[in-house]
Structure 1
């Protein structure tokens, strides 16, 4: 069970902004404005309504999310698809594995480029959507640590927005290396640990309607590197995309419904959010390779 207190989140954002001011990013006026805002937040009774959330496993969580997962509004899609396309574009078409394929977003991108795609996911609900999206794909129920495919079967493995839900990266990267042919490529796109730390964790209702968050782990950059090297993979590239600058949204006057936390909470302190999150990456993109024999 996780105790989510809106005031605690907002004070954390204010603290991040003030730390950046302490190291020279902002002036006295900014610091005084943040301290005044903290005092206002402490006096706001609307911020006392905390929520207890249950951890939801990826299978049940994604099964319940399958019907709405592709709805507009998932900001991660605009950040992970461009680097994925840029990395796979130069690769010749061949046999490709979409690990944790979900609704088949990546599978569709690969199929459009001539790849023969096998998709694996642990959620039957997500696989049903993938089969509708990519009728020519081969979609199988399976786990990332025990992929239902043979050794050295693929020249390309892709995996999107899944490894933050895995406790230990080692067995997963080892499976990617097992199913990859020598000279093959692995492309992984996932939520950046800095973004996870700031609350980028999917919010879903459990089967009983109670608030829940998908079980999510904060893997550091070095965690991926160590797991990849241990599996015999080499690091060919790493990108850390940040959201493009955009006009600030109008300041909010209330915390909004729990399903919109932390984004609706952030709207209560837009200046602090801009300062705390400036130039902070939200996506982590890896390009690994398996050396030729």
Structure 2
């Protein structure tokens, strides 16, 4: 079987950005998104929302739909931020929205600026989870909520990759598996508490007829979603 070339995140998303929509576009992302939205506050009025690893703006859009009027999206990929800029056209009157290029472990944001920090399927792009959560805690105010998702560790054990196609070629994005022990240790170091955990599974109704996929995926969780809280002190 032909193995897809594995690319680092920056070159991968430079290729993928042109066809990357601002919505969940496969069954895994649909399962992950349902879990993320269930762990997010239902209303975000008056909250300062940061989407770290915002990509094309999927969770920024959801945050606006829940009433957020002050939003910042940060992403490593300039082409993906160009895609996210389309959200400015859909922003409600009076909304304050900004996009910035930056690394998850070095966000270009002031300390204690986020009431809610979101990060969807991006922490696996960084090898050191502790450095990412420490930075997330830095930019979050005391008592803030953080809702973060990643590919479930079971997927790595089964040999799954995050694949995409560009220019007629199939590629995979490099990904680091973060286990539960990594999350617990990183949260302890960063002053974060794990408030809730979800391990969503695929919904068979989301799988298109004739789709080729590992049937084991119907029997195991496909994403790991954490709701964290920054300690007040």
Tell me whether the two structures share a fold, i.e. TM-score over 0.5. Answer: yes
**How many angstroms apart in 2 are the aligned matches of 1:52 and 1:234?**
39
Q: How does 1:156-235 map to 2 (within 5 A)?
A: 156-204=116-164, 211-235=170-194
Choose 1 or 2 for highest CA Rg: 1
Q: Which residue of 2 aligns with 1:264?
A: 212
Would the aligned equivalents of 1:107 and 1:134 in 2 still touch at CA under 8 Å? no
Change (3 A) 1:114 1:61: same
- What SS class does the counterpart of residue 66 from structure 1 fall into? helix
- What SS class does the counterpart of residue 157 from structure 1 fall into? strand
Shift of 1:244: 2.3
Q: Which structure ranks higher in relative contact order (CA pairs < 8 Å, sequence separation ≥ 6)?
A: 2
- Structure 1 residues not aligned, in runs of 5+: 1-49, 253-262, 267-272
Pick the structure with more helix per residue.
1
Q: Which residue of 2 aligns with 1:110?
A: 63
TM-score of the superposed pair, with normalisation by structure 2: 0.86
**How many angstroms apart in 1 are the aligned matches of 2:207 and 2:58?**
29
Pick the structure with more strand per residue.
2
**How many angstroms apart in 1 are the aligned matches of 2:11 and 2:156?**
21
Point out 4+ residue stretches in structure 1 off by more than 6 angstroms.
Answer: 247-250
**How many angstroms apart in 2 are the aligned matches of 1:202 and 1:138?**
28
TM-score of the superposed pair, with normalisation by structure 1: 0.69
**How many angstroms apart in 1 are the aligned matches of 2:78 and 2:67?**
25
Shift of 1:156: 0.8
1:279 to 188, 201, 219: 219
Q: How does 1:8-87 map to 2 (within 5 A)?
A: 50-70=1-21, 73-87=25-39
Shift of 1:134: 3.9
1:89 to 34, 41, 48: 41
Q: Which residue of 2 aligns with 1:288?
A: 228
**How many angstroms apart in 2 are the aligned matches of 1:108 and 1:206?**
25
**In angstroms, what is the RMSD of aligned CA positions?**
2.5
- What SS class does the counterpart of residue 149 from structure 2 fall into? strand
Would the aligned equivalents of 1:104 and 1:134 in 2 still touch at CA under 8 Å? no
Q: Which residue of 2 aligns with 1:141?
A: 101
- Structure 2 residues not aligned, in runs of 5+: 92-96
Q: Which residue of 2 aligns with 1:47?
A: none
**How many angstroms apart in 2 are the aligned matches of 1:98 and 1:247?**
26
